[in-house]
Structure 1
Amino acid sequence: MLAAILFDLDGTLVNTDPVHYQAWQEMLLRFGLKMDENFYKSRISGRLNSVILQDILPQLSLQQQEEFATEKEAMFRQLATQLQPLPGLSQLLAWTEEHQIKRALVTNAPRLNANFMLEVLGLTKTFSPII
């Protein structure tokens, strides 16, 4: 019997890639770097900020990388106010409720972003815990 379902946030509940793409594009322009979709997919998408920054801006100190990442994530939240859940999510959540299946959210997104996205999606009370 199924007791619980673990949901990933980015790409499962919501497609955040276009918003992350825009935020990275704007941030990298400050360093004179232009980014296209291939660069984003191969060097940024799905990776942690710390790994990305070591890869593409290795000249930054650790403190500068942390400041860059903080600013990039703040920009993401500014741009992400209109996120919509992926098709079928509400039906799946209703099914889990109907069958009394527990739900948890797993993500490598910064906790501030995860909470923000759940709020935008109207899902703050849907997932406990967030891992």
Structure 2
Amino acid sequence: MSDTLTRATGIVFDLDGTLVDSTYVHTICWWEAIAQFGHERPMAVVHHAVGMGAGHLLEHVLGDVRDPGQDAAMSAAHDALFATWHERLHPFPAARSLLNWCRDAKLTVALATSSSSRDLWAMLDVLDHPDFDVVVTTDEARGSQAGGGLLESVLDRTGLEPEDLLVVGDSVWDMRAATRIGAPALGVATGGTSAPELHEAGAELTYPDLTALQRAMQDARAEALPPGYIP
């Protein structure tokens, strides 16, 4: 068993597609928002950009035809569409139990998300408002998830070193952001990105879902305990 899961003292979770089943909803909403401004892109292209943060997403999806002056309006269109889904969103199985287990294991638990404030609060409602030590949004960070700024802000606010922090996410952008700051990345294939894609993007370990991740963390911690240990 790799010591990746036992040497860390902190863990940071992405939100969309990692804790809450919202990646495909974002895909539809971005696809519709872009179409409102006369752009047609395959949903698959949009899906693979979800998780980058609005500015990077639009640049990635639209390329040379992007008009940065329309970014704010397209983002607002996406936000309005996504808000209509708030009451229909659900957490992934084991999301709440994994967060509770991390708390019981005395890990520093952080959330890093490029979601807007309105979407953030809606999804925290879905998760029954977990007790995060740190919550970092794009507004507070020095860039979006794709640039690593969110994770740098987590390090600043927790006082942890990169090697002390497990980064859990569902997209290649999460994995690349973790690699960029030198933190171990754990990929979960819950947002539609496959384990091989996550591994290629820098994931040290990958799991099909949060249930498997929680089981692996529990098993790793149990194996690391000295013989005869009684809590």
2:58–2:66 contact (8 Å) kept in structure 1:
no
How do 1:1-131 residues align onto structure 2 when only pairs under 5 Å count?
Answer: 3-42=9-48, 44-55=49-60, 56=62, 58=65, 60-62=67-69, 64-123=70-129, 125-131=130-136
Q: Distance in 2 between the 1:8 and 1:120 partners?
A: 15
Scaled by the length of structure 2, the TM-score of the pair is 0.47
Q: Distance in 1 between the 2:57 and 2:43 partners?
A: 15
Change in Cα spacing, 1:86 to 1:60, as seen in structure 2 (3 Å) is: same
SS at match of 2:17: coil
Q: In structure 2, what residue type is equivalent to 1:91?
A: S
Change in Cα spacing, 1:21 to 1:126, as seen in structure 2 (3 Å) is: same
Scaled by the length of structure 1, the TM-score of the pair is 0.76
Higher gyration radius (CA): 2
Q: Distance in 2 between the 1:34 and 1:18 partners?
A: 17
SS at match of 1:81: helix
Q: Distance in 2 between the 1:5 and 1:54 partners?
A: 30
Q: In structure 1, what residue type is equivalent to 2:67?
A: L
Deviation (angstroms), 1:116: 2.4
Provide, for residues 73-103 of structure 1, a one-character-per-residue CA deviation record: whole Å limited to 9, x for no partner: 2321222322111122222123224334332
SS at match of 2:84: helix
Q: In structure 2, what residue type is equivalent to 1:53?
A: L
Deviation (angstroms), 1:12: 1.7
Change in Cα spacing, 1:54 to 1:4, as seen in structure 2 (3 Å) is: closer
Compute the RMSD of aligned alpha carbons: 2.5
Q: Distance in 2 between the 1:99 and 1:53 partners?
A: 39
Runs of 5+ in structure 2 lacking a partner? 1-6, 137-231
Q: Distance in 2 between the 1:6 and 1:95 partners?
A: 14
SS at match of 1:18: helix
1:5–1:104 contact (8 Å) kept in structure 2:
yes
Deviation (angstroms), 1:10: 1.8
| Moved beyond 6 Å, runs of 4+ | none
Change in Cα spacing, 1:48 to 1:91, as seen in structure 2 (3 Å) is: closer
Deviation (angstroms), 1:105: 0.7
Aligned residue pairs: how many? 128
1:7–1:104 contact (8 Å) kept in structure 2:
yes
Q: Distance in 2 between the 1:122 and 1:82 partners?
A: 14
